[in-house]
Structure 1
Amino acid sequence: MTSEVAKPGIHPTALVDPQAQLDSTVSVGPYSVIGPHVKVAAGTTIGAHCVIEGHTSIGHDNRIFQFNSLGAIPQDKKYAGEPCELVIGDRNTIREFCTFNIGSPGDTGVTRVGDDNWIMAYVHLAHDCAVGNHTIFANNTQLAGHVQVGDWVILGGFTVVHQFERLGAHSMTAMCSLLFADLPPFVMAQGQPAAARSMNFEGLKRRGFSAARIAAVKAMHKALYRDSLTLDQAQSRIAELPDLHPEADADVQTMLTFLARSSPQRGIVR
């Protein structure tokens, strides 16, 4: 399993399959194991005692801390050895004891993590999850299979997400939240099961949202959660907001697109 001559940056106790494709700038810590179908791009560091296996591709400048398991087969009894994948983008931080599984043939076959994500310890990404960019997952966040997470989402520690749920861009959960329904964009949720508490106004300010855009987000929150409207009625009111807040047209479309894809069985966090 080991190469005859250790490459620069690869600890002599690491087991790197000769068929693995690691850029010459990649570093691998002591006792880590890298499988034959693994690809790792320039500048990525892999800590000690990691196991990276399966058809796993890892981009540039990631920091993977010690004791991670990436690319193991899905926790799916139907899985029969198909060559599914784990794809991780660039500049992610993955802290200790995370488990990211490959996809499954029952979906896209790919578990995907985007760029610039901050993923803390003991996070689990089950098969076919899709994580966007600039997210923060606090310690012990657990995602079941097929979960989709938008850009800039923040998940509080011990958040648990049921399979097939979707989390919209800029949404946020409090610690110990349990999601059984889709979490719309911009919404802050808390509870078991999670309920909407407010919108992520402070986060939007930090990301440079103008006062007009934040006013539109407040109006969306009012339509969805404060005026006792049905979901269809709320969508109709939200669709009118660009007339008052043209600067927020893209934000409104983000919300409407998300709501249009919500499953009648799961619904949204209310």
Structure 2
Amino acid sequence: MKIYISADIEGVTGVTHWNETEKSEADYKEFAHQMTLEVKAACEGAINAGADEIWVKDAHDSARNIDHNLLPKSTKLIRGWSGHMFSMVQELDETFDALVFIGYHSAGGTNDNPLSHTMNTNIDYMKLNREYLSEFLIHSYIASYLKVPVVFLSGDLGLCNEVKKINENIVTVAVKEGRGNSTISIHPQLALELIRDGVETSLKRDLSLYKIELPEEFNLEIKYRQHADALKALNYKGVEAIDSMRVSFKSKDLMEIVRAIRFLI
């Protein structure tokens, strides 16, 4: 069984402030270590379920956060950014049996995590078909397009609730809950146990349960923080202005939406 794991940090237990996510800050090392341990727990759960090949995408910031020495030998780690439009699931293709998300967070525009955002902090939010678009959802749609089931996610409670609306069978572990600029987190060791057990459980089920239906058409809306960025976005073919801060782009082809996002943010 060949498994893909995509890992972020803002949905890791305990992570509360931007300083804890940035390599240059003193607080960072402790939480990058916890990110590594949560990925390790996911790998162990996958191996317990029969996985013999695991690819891990370090998908936070510079994509140089995970200590590969702490992961099982059966893992391959993707570090850095290639520029591929699949971004946080770079190298994902039809040969993978399942996709796992670790440390993911709520979408920009929501209040479920003090670090809520979508892809970067230069935009206020993205919406797809009038709903706030999370990094989980856009990359899950990519997986669905490739016919790779999304089986598990760990992160904040708000995102876990969103996941259940997409497919209630996806196994989720909420490691924390946001309250304004604060978080209420479970114990780091408990998070590891729940992630390990959750990934194992998810992969032992019938993988056809995890199917995610793609919409028939896609209406993307982006709200920028700077009006100059919204004006610049109008150079992309098909983009239309909603107002001085918001633009829209429509397509029936998911890959056109994915491509547009990569160029517009």
**Which interval holds the TM-score relative to the shorter structure?**
under 0.3
Report which of the two structures shows the higher radius of gyration computed on alpha carbons.
1
* TM-score for both structures, normalised by structure 1: 0.27
Higher relative contact order (CA 8 A, sep 6+): 2
* TM-score for both structures, normalised by structure 2: 0.27
